[in-house]
Amino acid sequence: MSLKKASIYILDGPDDPGKESNKVEVMFNPGEYSVEGSNKYSYKPIPGLSLPIAQFVSGESATLTMDLFFDTYEKKEDVRDYTKKITGLLDVDKDLHTPPLIRFVWGSLTFKGVVERVSSRFTMFLESGTPVRATLSVTFREVQSVTEQFKRIPRQSADRTKQRTVRQGEQLWHIAAEEYEDPGLWREIARANGIEDPRRLEPGTVIKIPRLYG
């Protein structure tokens, strides 16, 4: 049984599941692909500590990278007639005023985003100079709507008011670092609990951890 061809679906909008009429099928499945993700942090120095405190800023959108191979030598056709279906995904859509959203699907892999970069390399030609073999190095970048991102964010911790008991030797900036990932937000906790002197924090005291927004 042959492996199913990978396909790229051009989406009409952020929530469009993809239509067969908007399907671009690769000529040959990639030999490999790589998925890369990362997070962005800022680092704040705290007096008395040898290392700064890492504060999460945001996630970076993931990328999917692969090489796609095209060969039309036997048919003596211009391979660019096939590669332009991929490179054309970089073009601005006249209705959306932006390059189209796509969904790359291959077996269990599904990746929604945009085509961020394409590098075309032509390696075989007919006597006329017509290219008949090409390799495209393609990078897709993940795109998610605001609704999709909120669905993925756990609805606990810093966006809901909760309580915790102060431990021995714990300071407000320790608590802010744990709860908000930002020690500088200790004043929010102090304000919510009427704490005038943050240095006098008694172990065993139950304090409120306020929500940050709204």
| CATH code of residue 35 | 2.40.30
Which among 6, 138, 125, 2 is positioned nearest to 72, based on CA atoms?
125
- Shared domain for 90 and 167, answered yes or no, is no
pLDDT per residue over 137-194, tens digit each? 999 999 876 666 656 655 444 445 788 888 888 889 888 888 887 888 888 899 899 9
CB-side neighbour CA atoms (13 Å) of 107 = 5
Same domain, 131 and 65: yes
Query: Is 71 inside a domain boundary?
Result: yes
| Domain co-membership, 120 together with 63 | yes
The pLDDT mean for the chain works out to 85
Give per-residue burial for 8-20: e unless 16+ CB within 10 Å, then b. Answer: bbbbeeeeeebee
pTM above 0.85?
no
pLDDT digits (tens, 9 = 90+) for 98-141: 899 999 999 889 999 999 999 999 999 999 999 999 999 999 99
Pairing of strands 101-106, 53-71: unpaired
CATH number where 183 lies: 3.10.350.10
pLDDT tens profile 187-200? 889 989 999 888 88
Instruction: Tell me: do 101 and 195 sit in the same domain.
Output: no
| Total domains present in the chain | 2
For residue 29, give both structure tokens: 């499945």
41 and 147 in a single domain? The answer is yes
The answer to whether 206 touches 164, Cβ cutoff 8 Å, is yes
DSSP 161: -
Query: Domain residues for 91?
Result: 7-151
5 Cβ contact list (under 8 Å, min separation 6): 25, 26, 29
pLDDT score of 214 more than 50: no
Domain presence at residue 78: yes
Share of the chain above pLDDT 90, in %: 43
Same domain for 142 and 74?
yes
